Homo-oligomer: A and B are copies of this chain.
């Protein structure tokens, strides 16, 4: 049963800055300054109980308004709200793959650091980094604990497809094959990051992006991101 227009409007209207419809707009402005969603790229989705809010496709992310949001019911996946003149995000099936694993929010960026990390790891099925403090900002979904400084963080890299929605199977497979990751890199494309809440997803997306950048800069300097800690000279 579809909602009346008034009911739909109520779902995206709130004075609370933490309401998903408001928060998606604010975070996208933040992400734009970080270079994550330039040129309408990237996306974000937040789940609030049985409602999944998703930013639309092909829209300048830093100029979103709350009334631009799509809303899906979960788990029935009916559209409760479909703004006219806007297209639903091609990331929708990918976000759902994360929700099916219990996520509360999912962020997709086109950050150049993410893309470059997939390029310097050419032909490889994952990216690894070790012995870095910022790894401690990343939780391991299968244990519920955060990674430690000495752990090697491994993030799967899946191959990009011509159509974004066709990534769903390989993304779901990567999530299955790598139960210890909360992110999947897409070769020559970007990264998907999810978390229990929108704040955890946002924080982890920042930690991942930091690690990607560090790995690229280390590579430029001839250093191995996954290498051991060198012994200190006496």
Which residues from chain A sit less than 8 Å from chain B, CB to CB? 38-41, 60, 110, 112, 115-116, 119-120, 122-125, 131-134, 137, 148-150, 159-162, 186-190, 199, 202-204, 206-207, 209-210, 213-214, 216-221, 223, 229-233
Contact = CB atoms under 8 A, between A and B. Distances in A.
B119 A221 contact: yes
Contacts of A209: 38
A12 to B, nearest CB: 21
B189 A120 contact: no
A39 B204 contact: yes
B207 A123 contact: no
A38 B124 CA distance: 28
B233 A125 contact: yes
B134 A217 contact: no
Copy number of this protein in the oligomer?
Answer: 4
Nearest to A90: B136
30 contacts: A38-B210, A39-B134, A39-B137, A39-B203, A39-B206, A39-B207, A40-B137, A41-B133, A41-B134, A41-B207, A41-B210, A60-B202, A110-B210, A112-B210, A112-B213, A115-B133, A116-B214, A116-B218, A116-B221, A119-B218, A123-B232, A125-B233, A132-B188, A133-B188, A133-B189, A148-B162, A159-B232, A188-B229, A219-B221, A220-B221
Given A110-B210, A189-B133, A230 B60 contact: no
Given A125-B232, A149-B161, A232-B125, A203 B112 contact: no
A233 B118 CA distance: 14
Contacts of A216: 217, 221
A182 B206 CA distance: 29
Given A132-B188, A216-B217, 4 more contacts: A41-B210, A112-B210, A115-B214, A133-B186
